Structure 1
Amino acid sequence: MYIGLDLGTSGLKALLIDDAQNVLAEASAPLSVTRPADGWSEQAPANWITAAEQALEALSVHDLSGVRGIGLSGQMHGAVLLDASDTVLRPCILWNDTRAYQEAKALDADPKFREITGNIVFPGFTAPKLVWVARHEPELFSKVAKVLLPKDYLRLWLTGEHVAEMSDAAGTSWFDTGARDWSDALLAKTGLSRAQMPRLVEGSAISGALRPELSARFGIGKGAVVAGGGGDNAASGIGVGVVKAGQAFVSLGTSGVLFAANDGYQPDPETAVHTFCHAVPGSWHQMGVILAASDALNWFAKLTGTDAETLTSGLGALRAPSKTLFLPYLGGERTPLNDAAIRGAFIGLEHATDREAATRAVLEGVSFAFRDCRDALAATGTQIESLLAVGGGSRSDYWLQIIATALGIPVKLPVAGDYGGAFGAARLGLMAASGAGAEIATPPAIAREIEPVSAQIAAFDDGYARYREAANRIAGLT
């Protein structure tokens, strides 16, 4: 048996699978975020340990003596700062904290960062956070002995080891993504050194053994190993079997991700595409990221005093895009605009715009934002041959029809099940314990496939052209 631990922002999830990768049990524990100032977002790492203890206690009602491996998945980019005795120096600055926007801009102005990391230095990444700490909390910065990513603090608790893995490390802005190693040059530019970084392993490799006292406490088999694991999206890629070039998934969660696997390293930072290592050796992945996917629909539902399911039920057959356009930039945008200050808009409102037309505009606007991501990925040479849909928004067939038609590619829906970060982490635990490779990360069985509506493709091409023209105006690009 194998356990996957997925450390999210709002909660920690634990999943137990058997040797055949069947899910045997799951448990979760909630987490909260503190916002002590505008744009700040923090969590106390001690709360992650408490959540992990709760989830493992819940799993331990089952016989865990046969557990051979544990995998980790987690929110990326967070800065966990430890002193020489592994004491946490301050609350973790999270991925969605924007206080370091000026520091990120300054680092990104140095061409070495894009050249070595293959990515823009976004405000949410780890390196600018440390520059902010050095500038605003210099006494604390002087005590930093180790910098860990969130899930790797869980690893420290589990194993006593300071270890990171490639997919998560690639989102720090200190990482040579092509070479799969820390960059001494970039670390030096932020006042740090390799000695302050954790040791690196591949996501499917052994990072350490479970501490005996935890083995005894939770009844986990002695000698169970802890895998390197993966950042949340990379682990989800392992969970849905997106590990080879041509494979991709679209995630319709609060935010939206178009994730594609690559057999080689092919960065293009100018596109605002994230190019990171995958969680298995010799592979990389790219992501187009939009900041409001289901969140945009939920925002509109709240605005109209209803819920998302009510809005989307009864929309009927797919029609040509609404005359009304919606730009889903409610809290800025990543791909392709890389603009934290840009905001969304309804454009082309008229007397005929009723709730149904506006709902369709929201669904279409988010889908066109995914087309932006598809085009940005294509600009790097990444082609999508197979596309899975996951996340809460994938329950709407109408929305998936829009996405399939806007992108011109069928969208596959897996059979019911949990294929997210916790399942991918458990698979990585299996790989580490058994020595298996990426071949075990098979795609799930497909329940059905939603084809593009051929009669509407031309209309959606025209709708996307109008959307892009409006987006360029809002972004000041024309």
Structure 2
Amino acid sequence: MSYVIGIDLGTSAVKALLIDREGRVRGEASQSYPLIHEHSGWSEQQPEDWVESTAAALQEVLRSSGLSREQVEGISFSGQMHGLVLLDADKKPVRNAILWNDTRTTAECREIERELGDTLLGVARNPALEGFTLPKILWVRKHEPEVFGLSASFLLPKDYVRFRLTGELYMDYSDAAGTLLFDVANRRWSEEILRAFDLPAGFCPPLVESHALVGVLLPGMAERTGLAAGTKVFAGGADNACGAIGAGILSEGLTLCSIGTSGVILTYENDKESDYAGKVHFFNHGQVDAYYAMGVTLAAGYSLSWFQNTFAPEESFGELLKGVGEVKPGAGGLLFTPYLVGERTPHADSQIRGSFIGVDGSHTRDHFARAVMEGITFSLAESVAVFRSAGKKVDRVVSIGGGAQNPVWLQMQADIFNAEVAALENEQGPGLGAAMLAAYGCGWFDSLAACADKFVKRASAYQPQPEAVKAYEGLFDIYRQVYAQTRGMNEALAAFRG
């Protein structure tokens, strides 16, 4: 039997997932690497750390599986989006990579808005935010001119790792969509945007489909990874695109809710003209000629982790939440906004901070815990509201991550979203999506959808409860007022937070 490996290059670690032809996980391994924070708001990594850790993870997963190297037919990738890897003419990095969560580029974002005007949303389909790639390029050019003078091209994180494995430079459409240099609807680098910032066309790598074969392992990298030199290497996709593939979000009417440290609401799109006016992100999918719209809550699972670490550091999540199901929807009139580190959707605001509203003497810790869970879900529901206001149908949601581990939270999502919500039997996240791209690229299936039918299994679904839906509709209306009511106060408090 042959196998494929999905490689998920995350912010803190890389994970290798070994999958057989039935979609079963036959092995997994991970390797961590450090973050570099030289200044407040800066977040960098050394690209070579990714390469070394990926090679080690591949070697470990093959060794622990007991398989021979020849049994691994192909590998593919999921990767953290937006990160900037600048290469010189010899294709070597000229500095550390600047990551998606780096916030130094506010001035460059305003420059992009002034220069591009309506072209920004009309072509790139996304607002200028600090996390995206173009602001990072402009920052390096302005603040490190000698370094930028050495730069001949750029890659995103997973693309650099894949380049080191194969010697071939490529970028897939789903990751290119997060650079602000890409014409999302027409699937090409934007000549207009490149010209506006005096960047040559050759600065951008060639574009390919996520399932495209882009090379085989170089002999030296085969030796380092333990895989065969002829192992096929496929392009892969952005982490959220691969997360959608791994959850089977491959057709109209399906929406993904992912609650990790941050939270994501992602809905499948097949119409390149869908227009959300920049209120949510609009990116190319890993599936051919498909797209997805996506909203982000910055402190989703992080809000619950903060609550646990602050008020119940000695308890497990299970112990912390065991009484939440006894509290009725609405947490006894207690409301929480999860703006602990600012917010992304629909309020791109780095100054806003979280609130508990309506506290009284009757509230217990269980009320507070339920309010935190409800507030996280309300924040995600704001993205659902954006989708629906644009005419999008959201009636079936696949939930993954921390929010899918608790039955009370799954029912809460169904009630707040007013949609059917289902978890997965075999949740493996973006790594599974990457493995599915490799399986499709190897010809195991004639489509990603056929692969999902085999690899992705949904668990029982939760249906919205009419009484809870009605209660949450009223509370959601109040929740949506909190941002505007507290924005000025948080701006005034910013100096004291320092």
Same fold by TM-score greater than 0.5: yes
Deviation at 1:454, TM superposition (A): 2.1
Matched letter for residue 121 of structure 1: A
Paired residue for 2:53, among 51, 54, 63?
51
**Residues 425-478 of structure 1: CA distance to partner in whole angstroms, max 9, x if unpaired?**
01111122217322234262222212222222211111111111222322469x
Q: Does 1:243 align with 2:245?
A: no
Paired with 2:451 and 2:339, the residues of 1 have a C-alpha distance of 34
Are the counterparts in 1 of residues 255 and 266 from structure 2 also a CA contact under 8 Å?
yes
Amino acid at match of 1:310: E
* From 377, 381, 384, the counterpart of 1:371: 381
SS at match of 2:437: helix
| 1:339–1:178 Cα change, 3 Å | same
| Residue in structure 2 matched with residue 102 of structure 1 by the alignment | 107
Where 1:270 maps in the other structure, the secondary structure is coil
TM-score, scaled to structure 1: 0.96
1:357-404 deviations in Å (ceiling 9; x for gaps):
111111111111111010112233332232111102321211222111
What letter is aligned with 2:36?
Answer: T
Alignment of 1:424-463 (within 5 A): 424-434=433-443, 436-442=446-452, 444-463=456-475
- Cα deviation per residue 1:62-89 (whole Å; 9 max; x = unaligned)? 3121222111101000000111112211
Superposed, which structure 2 residues align to 1:166-315 within 5 Å?
A: 166-268=173-275, 270-306=277-313, 307=315, 308-315=317-324
Could you tell me how far 1:222 is from its partner in structure 2? 4.4
Residue number in structure 1 paired with 2:340: 330
C-alpha deviation, 1:22, in angstroms: 1.9
Contact kept in structure 1, 2:395 and 2:420, CA below 8 Å: no
**Could you tell me which amino acid in structure 1 is paired with residue 299 of structure 2?**
A
- The alpha-carbon deviation at position 161 of structure 1 amounts to 0.9
Match of 1:122 among 129, 133, 138: 129
Aligned partner letter, 2:162: R
Question: Is structure 2 residue 37 aligned with structure 1 residue 35?
Answer: yes
Distance in 2 of aligned mates of 1:386 and 1:441 = 20
TM-score by length of 2: 0.92
Residue 69 of structure 1: aligned partner: 74
User: CA RMSD, aligned part only?
Assistant: 1.7
Indicate the residue corresponding to 1:413 in structure 2: 423
Alignment partners' CA distance in 2, 1:266 and 1:293: 30
Q: Structure 1 stretch 297-306 or stretch 124-133: which is displaced more?
A: 297-306
Q: In the alignment, is the contact (CA less than 8 A) between 2:4 and 2:74 conserved in 1?
A: yes
Letter in 2 for 1:439: A
Superposed displacement of residue 219, structure 1: 4.4
Letter in 1 for 2:334: T
Out of 308, 325, 340, the position equivalent to 1:316 is 325
Q: Which runs of 5+ in 1 are unaligned?
A: none
SS of equivalent residue, structure 1 residue 65: helix
- 1:28-48 deviation line (CA, Å, top 9, x unaligned): 101221111011111110100
Report the equivalent of 2:153: 146
**Structure 1 residues 381 and 108: CA distance shift in structure 2, 3 A:** farther
Percent of aligned positions with the same letter in both sequences? 37
Question: In the comparison of the two structures, how many residue pairs are matched?
Answer: 476
Distance in 1 (CA, whole Å) between partners of 2:16 and 2:319 is 32
| Alignment-derived partner of residue 87 in structure 1 | 92
Tell me which moved more, 446-455 or 370-379: 446-455
Specify the SS of the correspondent of 1:55. helix
Would you say the 8 A contact 1:271–1:336 is kept in 2?
no
Greater displacement, 42-51 / 446-455: 446-455
Aligned partner (choices 480, 490, 497) of residue 468 of structure 1: 480
1:263 counterpart letter in structure 2: N
Contact 1:84 1:144 in 2 (8 A): yes
Aligned in 2, Cα 1:318/1:247: closer, same or farther, shift over 3 Å? farther
Distance 1:99 1:179 in 2: 30
Paired AA for residue 40 in structure 1:
W
Structure 1 218/360 Cα, relative in aligned 2: closer, same or farther at 3 Å?
Answer: closer
Shifted more, 56-65 versus 314-323: the winner is 314-323
Maintained 8 Å contact 1:318/1:453: no
Q: What is the one-letter code of the residue matched to 1:421?
A: P
- The structure 1 residue matched to 2:360, chosen from 344, 350, 358, is 350
Contact preservation (8 Å) 1:16, 1:24: yes
